[in-house]
Structure 1
Amino acid sequence: MSQSNVQQPSWGRAWEVQGLTLLGTFLLLATTPFAVFYFYIACSEFGGSLLLPAQKLYTGELTLASLWNLLPALTAEAWMVYGAWFLLQLFCALALPDVLHKFLKGYRGGLCKGAVTPAGNQLTYNINGLQAWVIAHVLFLSGAFLFGWFSPTIIIDNFGPMLWVVNIVGNSVALFVYVKAYLFPSYPEDRKFSGNFLYDFYMGIELNPRIKNFDFKLFFNGRPGIVAWTLINLSFAAKQYQLYGTVTNSMILVNVLQAAYVIYFFWNERWYLNTIDIHHDHFGWMLAWGDCVWLPYMYTLQGLYLVFNPVELSTPYALFVLGVGVLGYTIFHLANRQKDRFRESDGNTKVWGKDPEYIPVSYSAADGSVRKTKLLTSGFWGIARHFNYTGDIIGCLSYSLACGFGHILPYFYFFFLTTLLVHRCIRDEKRLEMKYGEGWKRYCEKVPYRIIPGVW
């Protein structure tokens, strides 16, 4: 049996495409770029209302042509701002070895090995995202406030025009890696072809496309989008101050809560190498365009909304929102830390002061050998099989709650992330059931709930 046939059931995306999957792929490719523009216009032109533009189109007060005229124009300044940003991130990723791990206790940066791919490749990664984040923020804050090289509102002032730029970049990267997969693949044995152009373009063919030491997946997953996330929020806060002479406590909450998430991500960038994104997702339009466009524009909707709809929260409610965020982050962090310690010690650790409970399982590796592992069933992981997702969703909810209840738009990211994690949970569990067989069934009997204890 060929190697590809051995790997086929248990890793990566689908080898064959069903009709509904292809239809869903087409709809996502056709609609999501327009959705980003629509959300931007809803914020900047219609006070944060998602229904008002559609309502005006329906009543004839607004035509498609007049709606098109509301779109920001592509400008040379937008190209220069984004180009400088992108080049800075390339420089930080490729030219600067990580030094933070040498004096930040507990931080694990620098060169490290990733997991072995299905074809047997073990890649080396340069983990320096936290360093890139620090450099970017020092340059932005000093350039804007110390030297006066540019306004701190430079990002939001070009946010609309840059929406065209990032769409061009994201689609260009996706097309490039699609062609690259055929002409000069990095690791040919780790490719997957479905025979359908749309699906292969959307999901990606190569698992880990690289050009020398430049790793497309690691770079675009973390930079330029996530590093920019907190800078975008800072620019939103500066714009709010410019417009109203104050920064609301809701804007401060959004900045603080989302900054905590971003810093946590980069502090644990090495851990990210063990996630489904790196292990199983191929690099195509979904990640290339998603990381360039969807992430920096749709994940920052709360801050953008508050620029045009400033909300001052009562002190008790603001503290409540902060508490929700802290609760979510605490669960997310402690659950991940608990599982990591269990894995690293092979079960020789304490979980909530007791010996851990687990289900021993076995699986067949790509080389045909049988390997054994343990599935943790106590602590957070006895409450639900993906309790870290529970914490992530709770933390995400706090961003939306900070915006009040005037419009549904600030809650989009909460609904999106919940849907994404539920889908990821189902997809991951199908793979794990195939991998562990009866062992997985025993594990599910022991821990019956996926994300919401007592419900699902």
Structure 2
Amino acid sequence: HARQPTLSRGILANSYIEESAESWRTTSAVYDKEHFQCTVEQRGGREEEAMAESQLVHPPLFTYISMLALLTLVPPFVILMWYTNVHADGSVLQTFNYLKENGLQGLIDIWPRPTAIAGKIIICYALFEATLQLLLPGKRVEGPISPTGHRPVYKANGMAAYTVTLITYLCLWWFGIFNPTIVYDHLGEILSTLNFGSLIFCLFLYIKGHVAPSSTDHGSSGNIIVDYYWGMELYPRIGKHFDIKVFTNCRFGMISWGLLPITYCIKQYEEYGSLSDSMLIHTIITLVYVTKFFWWEAGYWNTMDIAHDRAGFYICWGCLVFLPCMYTSPGMYLVKHPVNLGPQLAISILVAGILCVYINYDCDRQRQEFRRTNGKALVWGKAPSKIVASYTTTTGETKTSLLLTSGWWGLSRHFHYVPEILASFFWSVPALFNHFIPYFYVIYLTGLLLDRAKRDDERCKSKYGKYWKKYCEKGYKSVLNSKSAEEVLANFAKWEPRHGKFRYRHPWAQYLDIGGIARDCAYRIHALNVYLNYETQIEQEIRTKIQEPCMKVCTECGHVLKELALAMKTMTYPLTIIVHIDNAKIAAENLKSLLHTNSSWEGIIFSDIIPMATVASLLIETVYYTIKMVESFDQLAALARFKKTNRFAPVRIRTNSWKTKRVMPDQPSTESVHHDVAAE
């Protein structure tokens, strides 16, 4: 929410409620029916070995189906993307109607046939980049240690290869030796040839992984589809020095990302006699991003693409075929759809795009410098906050890693993905909004990075165990300590121009109030979580006495927080929150009565009761703050005019015996009726 001055959707308070709900999902698990203690699930034994990068887990049926779907559907999708941009006026609807009328035969008809000129362009480009990769000088750089203890060594000459390629390409055009528009004119045949050639190349990698692996970081899942899709080797090489993943990902794929926008610029200039400012802005931001990549290439070798994902269809076909087509699609669209933005809008987009690229670079540079200096580099002018995490490789060797928890990396675990997504938006938005196709890459990248963040979290959780849990808690604690930042944001938002139905009457103060109460609640949850992780645990006899009400309090408060989070997101009244509030109150009263019943504690040493009393006290306080949060939310809902959507929601019936039941509104009752918030 720090990126948005407008808080009218309730993001400010919702962030705390979601954090608290997530913590409750963890805390409620501690009240196990037999143990009544906090247990942190760690991957161990055979499961840990299966999660190691050197051994692939045999996936379930739906994973096979999804892999087969990608293997069969994505290659033709690349052709459809090219066809839509070049021959269908950039209209997805036009392409869809064509396929609807002609079916599979229509796809066959528009699929370009591989040609000799396409093959010559691909081979010349590939040989040129391979030669530069082998011959250009570069600094010796070591990659991360693999799960088997292997450390790859690279030659960092990517920036030199990128610069030489761009200069050579432009010189060939300037002196009339080669016209880059040929690439655009034969782009369909090039993509078609790359499609078939890359599939054969991935088959070569599959066979090589079985017959002649380059290092100890290889293995098979026992399934051909999985091995072909994910790959067999982590660091495949031809000979001693030619790294295949560096070639496919960096030299062939990323350099083509810099060359193709230049090609599109030249083609548009030849077509119209001028270059539109939209194409110019797109090309500049893209080239800045690609240049940033090669400037930071040594850091890329520590990312998931190189250090975790094996060389198979997913990585290699993606970089050889998918990247040159999909990543450059906004420029491909702009060739035939020039847009004049005007100086003011063009400069604004350019500055915003370059700023996002810089922030993305600075995030990666910050972490890389932190690791290079073994945690001694200053971060934003201060000594860095860090966690020293140890882990065990598959060979049984214990290693340590430093996890940075300050600077950009103190904001969130994957903050660097945010400016990357925004940068892709800014080099796509010059196309404006006449068609959807220029924004496909932005949507694709968002999904890709969300999936990558999830996979990275799972991998780090398996690798670092308790240290990763501690690392994740750093982000939770930063939320607890952000009161002043929220107040600044709310005060800044008050000065926004009037807009929406509230004009100048946005309920900023109420958002802050909910955030403050949620923070107080979260403090109790955090204290409870820390307390239950101590080595000293409550005795079994005491646990059984208070087990049931404690479990009930955790469950009901967790439901309340999750419903509040959803209600804040959707600006609607929660449906059944009053049910859970009543149940939490009853559980808290039962817990109090157990503490006040002296006969229940006869024969138990007083010092043994103290831990139990601490847990119970924290739970009762949490119920209190949860109720306060609901009351504050009710005031916000009235001020912000939240929607009352549960027209047919059940109402509450309370009996004198504290037992509750639910009836529908049309059911008559002579008892005291307590409507929920939405019904009222």
So what's the TM-score if we normalise by structure 2?
A: 0.61
Shift of 1:180: 1.0
Query: Which residue pairs with 2:113 in the alignment?
Result: 73
Query: Which residue pairs with 1:206 in the alignment?
Result: 233
Shift of 1:384: 0.9
Q: Deviations over 1:70-128 (max 9, x none)?
A: 3333221111111111111121112x132xxxxxxxxxx43322222222222222222
Give the conservation status (yes or no) of the 8 Å contact 1:327–1:394: no
Query: Which residue pairs with 1:32 in the alignment?
Result: 74
- The residue correspondences of 1:25-424 to structure 2 (distance < 5 A) are 25-58=67-100, 60=101, 62=102, 64-94=104-134, 96-98=135-137, 109-145=138-174, 147-187=175-215, 189-212=216-239, 213-424=241-452
SS in 2 for 1:387: coil
Q: Distance in 2 between matches of 1:194 and 1:281?
A: 14
Give the conservation status (yes or no) of the 8 Å contact 1:358–1:378: yes
Q: Deviations over 1:161-214 (max 9, x none)?
A: 111211122111100010111111212x31121111111101001111112122
Q: Distance in 2 between matches of 1:449 and 1:64?
A: 55
Q: Distance in 2 between matches of 1:67 and 1:341?
A: 50
Query: Which residue pairs with 2:61 in the alignment?
Result: 19
Q: Distance in 1 between matches of 2:166 and 2:353?
A: 23
Q: Deviations over 1:261-314 (max 9, x none)?
A: 111111111111111111111101112211110011111001100012111112
SS in 2 for 1:359: strand
Check 1:179–1:311 CA distance in 2 against 1; reply closer, same or farther (3 A cut). Answer: same
Q: Report the structure number with the largest CA radius of gyration.
A: 2
Give the conservation status (yes or no) of the 8 Å contact 2:209–2:233: yes
Q: 1:152 is aligned with what amino acid? A: P
Q: Deviations over 1:397-429 (max 9, x none)?
A: 111112111111111111111111110100010
Shift of 1:331: 1.5
Give the conservation status (yes or no) of the 8 Å contact 1:207–1:282: yes
Give the conservation status (yes or no) of the 8 Å contact 1:385–1:449: no
Give the conservation status (yes or no) of the 8 Å contact 1:12–1:280: no
Q: 1:273 is aligned with what amino acid? A: W
Moved more, 25-34 or 332-341: 332-341
Q: Distance in 2 between matches of 1:417 and 1:276?
A: 15
Query: Which residue pairs with 2:558 in the alignment?
Result: none
SS in 2 for 1:26: helix
Shift of 1:6: 7.0
SS in 2 for 1:447: helix
Q: Deviations over 1:14-69 (max 9, x none)?
A: 321111211110110010001101111111111111121212443x3x55434533
Q: Distance in 1 between matches of 2:401 and 2:212?
A: 36
Moved more, 334-343 or 358-367: 358-367
Check 1:114–1:355 CA distance in 2 against 1; reply closer, same or farther (3 A cut). Answer: closer
Name the % identity: 35
Query: Which residue pairs with 2:12 in the alignment?
Result: none
Give the conservation status (yes or no) of the 8 Å contact 2:148–2:393: no
Moved more, 423-432 or 148-157: 148-157
Q: 1:197 is aligned with what amino acid? A: I
Q: Distance in 1 between matches of 2:169 and 2:161?
A: 12
Q: 2:229 is aligned with what amino acid? A: Y
Give the conservation status (yes or no) of the 8 Å contact 2:48–2:462: no
Matched, 1:435 2:477: no
Check 1:351–1:111 CA distance in 2 against 1; reply closer, same or farther (3 A cut). Answer: closer
Q: Please, what is the CA RMSD of the aligned residues?
A: 2.4
Q: Distance in 1 between matches of 2:55 and 2:283?
A: 35
Give the conservation status (yes or no) of the 8 Å contact 1:13–1:281: no
SS in 1 for 2:152: strand
Give the conservation status (yes or no) of the 8 Å contact 1:14–1:194: yes
Shift of 1:333: 1.4
Check 1:308–1:168 CA distance in 2 against 1; reply closer, same or farther (3 A cut). Answer: same
Shift of 1:315: 2.3
Query: Which residue pairs with 1:426 in the alignment?
Result: 454
Shift of 1:449: 10
Q: Distance in 2 between matches of 1:233 and 1:350?
A: 37
Q: Deviations over 1:362-395 (max 9, x none)?
A: 2223442434433222211111111111111111
SS in 1 for 2:233: coil
SS in 2 for 1:401: helix
Q: 1:121 is aligned with what amino acid? A: H
Q: Distance in 2 between matches of 1:90 and 1:386?
A: 33
SS in 1 for 2:431: coil
1:9 to 45, 48, 51: 51
Query: Which residue pairs with 1:103 in the alignment?
Result: none
Q: Distance in 1 between matches of 2:362 and 2:435?
A: 33
5+ residue gaps in structure 2? Answer: 1-44, 487-564, 570-680
SS in 2 for 1:8: helix
So what's the TM-score if we normalise by structure 1?
A: 0.90
Q: 2:432 is aligned with what amino acid? A: G
SS in 2 for 1:363: strand
Q: Distance in 2 between matches of 1:361 and 1:111?
A: 27
Shift of 1:330: 2.1
Check 1:357–1:80 CA distance in 2 against 1; reply closer, same or farther (3 A cut). Answer: same
Shift of 1:346: 2.5
Q: Distance in 2 between matches of 1:360 and 1:185?
A: 34
